[in-house]
Amino acid sequence: MLELTPKTITERSALRVNPCKSCQPVGALYAALGVRRCMPHSHGSQGCVSYHRTFLTRHFKEPAIAASSSFTEGASVFGGGANLRAAVKNIFDIYDPDIIAVHTTCLSETIGDDLNAYILDMDIPDDKIVVHANTPSYVGSHITGYAGMLSGFIRYLADRRASPNGKTAVFPGFVNPGDIREIKRILHLLGLPVIVFPDQSGVMDAPMSNTYRMYPEGGTSIDDIRSLGGCGRALALGNFACGQPAGDLEEKCKVAYKCLPLPIGMEATDSFVTEAAGSGGVPQELEDERGRLLDLMLDANPYFYNKTLAIFGDPDTVVGLTAFSLELGMRPRYIITGTPGDAFVRQTEALLDKYDVTDAVVKAAADLFELHQWIKNGPVDLLLGTSYGKQIAKAEDIPLVRAGFPVLDRYGHSYMPIVGYQGAMRLAEMMANALMDRYDRDCADEDMDIVM
């Protein structure tokens, strides 16, 4: 089917074909799953939350729990207040979460439902909590919804009068549970007391046991979210997913924050480790990991050097992948995200200027149809991004390395980090192997060798 994508490019200002993003509630639901004993709740129709749950379940291969206000025609006309009140009561009675995190959908936003007023009017048990975030599907992307939901938790729960706790608040970004585990491992090696918020590790990668647990042991506790107001500082990993909530924490609780790129690749991980360590120094274990990464990058350099690639996905992840590909000596040709915002273009172009790459195309609010057209006009050696690039890879016969969100057609990815020095080694291995497999497939018989 995609072989029929035309080579001639027609400029489109409104229409998106095969968007490089999902909608806000997907990100809001994932953010809520990073809070312990939290039930995400979609204020809209059953069809909306079914899609959002399915999208996350296909990526993580784990059940993504969520409830719905189950709008009908009546709620769509007269408002969903009654539906939400009934839903909240039923959820607490039947599923017994400690907290319900409500996010809106395009339907409830369009009719103008006031969730704050609804929640204030509810009879909520004394030991239970309801928070909300506005996440219309027709604005932004799942990254926008993720950031908005985190801000909702901070708005309701972060305590500006919390006692100083000597901890650092760490917002890990829109990443897999395996990435969060790696970030926490690095922080543990540095001996840094932290509150990681949100924390989907132990929730979306909970171990298999003989008993189903609706609320696994993982997630950031409500008490820890309240204690964010007593942290000495905050580190936001990824401006697009975590800049807003970190800024809201500073505004509400006067916790100064620093925004760092996702620690993907050598330089970004160096920045994260250095900033987290402060004056405490870096342990030898991390120094050794860095040295092993550098050794791998040097060993495989002949296969990376001057290879062209297209990178697509979420903005923070794409910026990190772009930086790492440049460190490997590659030349990104097309770099896109579906999330709107000029900041992505500025940040990416600054990276390219640093490495004297002047011929790359960078675009936010882009789609994969246009990316395919660009590749038809100027092919690349490698695709780096989500599973949605596999049709382009097949149509144009280009190797694809899957990274980011979503990866729907492979297993194990959510357990394996791409952040930190060890994550960068995994990325470098996958990218080098894809390029070397292509060389083996295409080379002349006399050039086929066991040792490369």
Residues 292-312 pLDDT 10s: 999 999 999 999 999 999 999
Q: What is the arithmetic mean of pLDDT over 118-131?
A: 94
Give the start-to-end residue ranges of the domains of the chain: 24-141, 168-277, 284-447
What would be the CATH architecture of the domain defined by 284-447? 3-Layer(aba) Sandwich (3.40)
Q: Within a 13 Å sphere around the CA of 360, how many CA atoms are in the beta-carbon half?
A: 28
How far is residue 105's CA from residue 92's CA, in Å, rounded to a whole number? 22
Task: Give the model confidence (pLDDT) of 185-228 as tens digits.
Answer: 999 999 999 999 999 999 999 999 888 899 999 999 999 999 99
Q: Over the stretch 347-384, which tens digit does the pLDDT of each residue have?
A: 999 999 999 999 999 999 999 999 999 999 999 999 99
- The answer to whether 395 touches 2, Cβ cutoff 8 Å, is yes
Q: Contact 258/235 with Cβ under 8 angstroms?
A: yes
Does residue 85 register a pLDDT over 90? Answer: yes
The region of weakest confidence among 78-92, 179-193, 330-344, 363-377 is 78-92
Count of all residues that appear for the chain in the document = 452
Domain 24-141 of CATH type 3.40.50.1980: yes
Cis peptide, bond prior to residue 406, ω within 30 of zero: yes
Architecture of domain 168-277: 3-Layer(aba) Sandwich (3.40)
Is-same-fold flag (168-277; 284-447)? yes
Instruction: Report the helix count and the strand count for the chain, using DSSP H and E.
Output: 18, 13
The per-residue pLDDT of the chain, averaged, comes to: 95
Residue 435 has pLDDT above 90, yes or no: yes
Percent of the chain with pLDDT over 70: 99
